[in-house]
Amino acid sequence: MSTATASLTGGFNWFKTGITAGLLLVGAMVFALTYLAIPDFQEWLMATLGAGWAVAAGLGLAVLLAVVYRPAGLVRGWKWWSALAIVAAVAVAGLTFWQGESGASYAYGMAGRWGYALTGGQFGWWLVEFLAALMVISLLLVPKAGRGYVAAGRMVGVAAWAALVFAAIGVRYVGIWLALAAVTVGRGARRLAGLRPGKRPVMAKPVTRPAAAPEPKQLDQPEPARAPQPVNLSRAGGWQLPPLETLAPPEPHEIDGKAIANMTEEIKEALAEHGVYVDVEDVKAGPRVIKFGLVPGYMPQRASKDGDTSKQRPSRVRVGDIAKRQKDLALALKSPYIRIIETPEPGEGLVGLEVPNPTPGKVLMRSIIEGPAFNKIVEKGGLAFALGDDAGGQSLALDLAAMPHLLIAGATGSGKSVCINSLVASLLMTRPPDELRMIMVDPKRVELTPFNGIPHLVMPVIVEPDEVQPALRGLINEMTRRYKLMEEMGVRNIAGYNAKSGEPMCFLVLIVDELADLMMTGGLEVEQQLVRLAQLGRAAGIHMVLATQRPSVKVVTGLLKANVPARVAFAVASQVDSRVSWTEGGAEALMGKGDLLLLNNDFPKARRGQGTLVYDDEMDRLDEGTGEPDPENIEDIYQGNVLDQARDLALRNPRLTSAMLERRFKVRKSIADELIEELRGEGLVIGG
């Protein structure tokens, strides 16, 4: 039985050997014929594997024989087989650095693309792979060696860290010694020369006014003929304000009396048809709106049973009955833009009815600036703003310093941007840069960027949302600094401080063209900063003008709206938007193109008007007429005591950089660069 079994086993082994040898022989013949008969196969094989095909073939043959004759040994000795595969891969990768004379072996080495992919053609990378292979093989064959590797790595890391720490300490002490030596040498040189370093100062001190009384503003002097004259203000900086000829002259506007008379009759007839009797006692024609003053009439008396009407007391038409007929009036006058004012104006017992003017006119800025209301604000020392004309044709000249902040809301094309241009033009015409500074934020990059270069700007127009918060922090720091100065002098506001101080403060105006972008990017932090400025900025001479075309509750929050009492509303899309920005409806019915509603402390009810029109060429002439900034007379609100703090920081770290100052003091890069230049000029900062 055993002999038969042994015979069968031996026969099976011979059969298995024959089959294996036959398959190998057939495979070798097929490979040889393909290699000799197809030249493209030769090129592909040499380009892909190169001489490494011999290593791959040998490893594959060994694995095949193990599978056929010793499959159990293949599983038990997987560590050795893995080590053999790693050795083969490293060997093939090493053939990459042996190049042939031509062809693929010259381009990729003797290992072809396979070996080139393993090393990237870099000997240093192959050396790293070789060392890693040795480590992996040793871990596979001798697992206990891993503990030694970990201990050795820990020791090397600790030694390297200690070396770096001691090197840094040594460099620090050497740098401090060099900085102190440089400071000593620099101060001695300046004492000998008697001059400061020739660098532009980062903190320019404002020029002290002369003790004599300043010359009066020529704009403030009344002139009998009110002929336009150039306005010259003598100031410490020698600034000259743009002349009135910079602005276009007013255009004459003729009132069509016949059309107004016809509208008067149509109003009376339209109301009488519905049993509402009125008398039109006052008519005021504005540039875009005609305001009719209505007096409620008497209801017709009904006869008694005996036909006698003398005993009955006549009754007047109710004001509410007139307001209910607004749609009927709009139909009769063929205009949807009808507005009835139920509350009479102070001193007038009339119900107001505003109707679009059939012959509208333009309100140019020069006509407002030449008026007495505007000049009165300038004489008081306020920030005059030529807003426009009201519905009755009276000038709307506002004092931004008394508001003290302004919210402007309006859809695209309603006149919001032109209103901002009118505000800037009014300030440029009446205030020199040593009395007024402005910070402008324009995320849309098109409305306020043309003002870049005017001397009134503290910095270039901000167009990036991430630069707004540092600017607001700078304003808050400046506000705090001003309050400390006023506290030391015992005054309550900027007017009292300027009256006593030899170094007066200038007004600061923040103008934001699109508040919605700031609220979306900055969120709660921006809102808190704006609210703080709105609450405390007035006494310090800091005022805000916030404009938005999307007056939602997320943009114009309740807390912000409560601290900005003055508002100008242009045409908006819906009554909801009107109530958000205006707390009441009405702005959705405006005609656009400068038609506005004004609400401030002087007018408890909304007052309708037409905004001023400023042409682009007028703004260009204003930009050119303001001149170039004088760096010696410009105070940067950012810096305050930052330079002194930067000096202390430089004494501790002579390798100070502008990036470190940006992070430490939360200032812009341009400010940090100027601080570094000043410190380098004083010898406190070394290095490039």
Q: For the residues 161-189, what does the mean pLDDT come to? A: 70
Q: What is the mean pLDDT of residues 514-528?
A: 86
Which of 143, 175, 192 delimits the end of a domain?
A: 143
The sign of the dihedral angle between the CA atoms of 391, 397, 401, 405 is positive
Sign of CA dihedral 599, 601, 607, 609: negative
Cα 199 from chain centroid (whole Å): 31
Q: Which of 305, 326, 356 is the last residue of a domain?
A: 356
Q: How far apart are CA 19 and CA 8, in angstroms?
A: 16
Co-location of 607 and 587 in the same domain: yes
Q: How many CA atoms lie within 13 A of 665 on its CB side?
A: 30
- Do 97 and 133 share a domain, yes or no? yes
413 shares its domain with 286: no
Interatomic CA distance for residues 81 and 59, integer angstroms: 10
Residue 209 confidence (pLDDT) above 60? no
Averaged over 610-635, what is the pLDDT? 70
DSSP state for residue 683 in the 8-state scheme: T
Give the domain range for residue 273.
257-297+316-356
User: In this model, does residue 616 exceed pLDDT 70?
Assistant: yes
- Contact between 166 and 159 under an 8 Å Cβ cutoff? The reply is no
**Domain check: are 183 and 330 in the same one?**
no
Asked whether residue 578 falls in the same domain as residue 664, the answer is: no
Nearest Cα to 510, choosing from 475, 470, 539? 475
Query: Is residue 475 within 8 Å of 542, Cβ to Cβ?
Result: yes
Q: Are 536 and 569 in contact (CB under 8 A)?
A: no
- Give yes or no for residue 631 having a pLDDT over 70: no
Cis peptide before 336 (omega within 30 of 0): no
How far, in whole angstroms, is CA 133 from its chain's centroid?
54
Range of lowest pLDDT (178-187, 248-257, 344-353): 178-187
Angle at 355 between CA 352 and CA 359, to 5 degrees: 135
Ranking 27-41, 98-112, 142-156 by mean pLDDT, the lowest is 98-112
Using a 10 angstrom Cβ sphere, with 0-12 exposed, 13-18 middle and 19 or more buried, the burial of residue 247 is buried
- Chain-wide mean pLDDT for the chain? 76
Residue 303 lies in a domain: no
Tell me the CB-side half-sphere exposure of residue 268, using CA atoms within 13 A.
13
- Count how many domains the chain has: 4
For residue 566, what are the β-bridge partners? 406
Rounded Cα–Cα distance for residues 168 and 56 (Å): 52
pLDDT confidence tier of residue 225, bands split at 50, 70 and 90:
very low
Calculate helix-pair angle for 78-94, 52-69, nearest 10 degrees.
170
Report the C-alpha gap between 432 and 425 in whole angstroms: 12
Q: Distance between CA 232 and CA 242 in Å, rounded?
A: 8
Give Cα 459 to chain centroid, integer Å: 14
Q: Are residues 553 and 433 in the same domain?
A: yes
Examine residue 182 and state whether it is found in any structural domain, yes or no: yes
According to the model, what pLDDT value does residue 647 have? 80
What confidence tens digit (pLDDT) does each residue in 431-472 have? 998 899 999 999 888 888 888 888 888 888 998 888 888 889
- Asked if the model's pLDDT at residue 54 lies above 80, the reply is no
Task: Centre a 10 Å sphere on the Cβ of residue 591 and count the other Cβ atoms it contains.
Answer: 19
Identify the pLDDT of residue 39: 64
Q: Are residues 386 and 346 in the same domain?
A: no
> Residue 420: how many CA atoms within 13 Å on its side-chain side?
29
Domain membership flag for residue 77: yes
Mean pLDDT on 173-192 = 59
Q: Which two tokens stand for residue 666?
A: 């939360």
Q: Which of 153-167, 177-191, 377-391 has the lowest mean pLDDT?
A: 177-191
> C-alpha distances in angstroms, 261 versus 3, 255, 288, 328, 652?
139, 11, 17, 19, 83
pLDDT at 630 over 70: no
pLDDT at 680: 83
The region of weakest confidence among 107-116, 130-139, 156-165, 390-399 is: 107-116
Does residue 229 lie within any of the structural domains?
no
Question: Which amino acid, residue 450?
Answer: P
Question: Is 190 part of a structural domain of the chain?
Answer: yes
Q: Is residue 225 part of a domain?
A: no
Do 480 and 569 share a domain, yes or no?
yes
- Cα separation, 416 vs 571, whole angstroms: 9
Angle (CA) 226-230-234 rounded to 5° is 120
* Closest among 58, 82, 63 to 137, alpha carbons compared: 82
Q: Rounded to whole angstroms, how far apart are CA atoms 230 and 39?
A: 94
CATH of the domain at 504: 3.40.50.300
Q: How many CB atoms lie within 10 A of CB 20?
A: 15
Which H or E run contains 653? Answer: none
Strand partners, 611: 388
pTM above the 0.85 mark? no
pLDDT at 235: 41
For 550-595, give the DSSP string.
---TTTS-HHHHHT--EEEE---SSHHHHHHHHSSS-GGG--STTE
If you average pLDDT over residues 251-275, what whole number do you get? Answer: 87
Where among 618, 633, 648 does a domain terminate?
633
Q: pLDDT band at residue 635, thresholds of 50, 70 and 90?
A: very low
How many H helices and E strands in the chain? 25, 13
Q: Which of 29, 53, 37 is nearest to 104 (CA)?
A: 53
Residue 248 lies in a domain: no
At 419 the pLDDT is 94
Does residue 644 sit in the same domain as residue 588? no
Angle in degrees, CA 309, 315, 318, rounded to 5: 155
Give a yes or no: residue 608 inside a domain. Answer: yes
Q: Do 136 and 194 reside in the same domain of the chain?
A: no
Position 618 pLDDT exceeds 70: yes
pLDDT class of 545 with cuts at 50, 70, 90: very high
What are the structure tokens assigned to 351, written together? Answer: 């119900």
Question: Per residue in 573-586, pLDDT tens?
Answer: 888 878 876 667 77
Phi, psi angles (nearest 5°) of residue 16: -65, -40
What CATH number is given to the structural domain containing 336? 3.30.980.40
C-alpha R_g of the chain: 44
Judged by DSSP in three states, 514 sits in: coil
The CA–CA distances, whole Å, from 36 to 39, 41, 53, 586 equal: 7, 9, 16, 94
In this prediction, residues 39-45 reach a mean pLDDT of 63
Does residue 542 contact residue 481 with C-beta atoms inside 8 Å? Answer: no
The residue behind tokens 């230049």 is 677
Q: Which of 58-62, 179-183, 236-240, 509-513 has the highest mean pLDDT?
A: 509-513
Statement to judge: residues 349 and 285 lie in one domain: yes
Cis-peptide into 314, omega within 30 deg: no
Give yes or no: residues 655 and 621 share one domain. Answer: no
DSSP character string of 58-117: HHHHHHHHHHHH-HHHHHHTHHHHHHHHHHHHHHHHHGGG---SSTHHHHH-TTHHHHHH
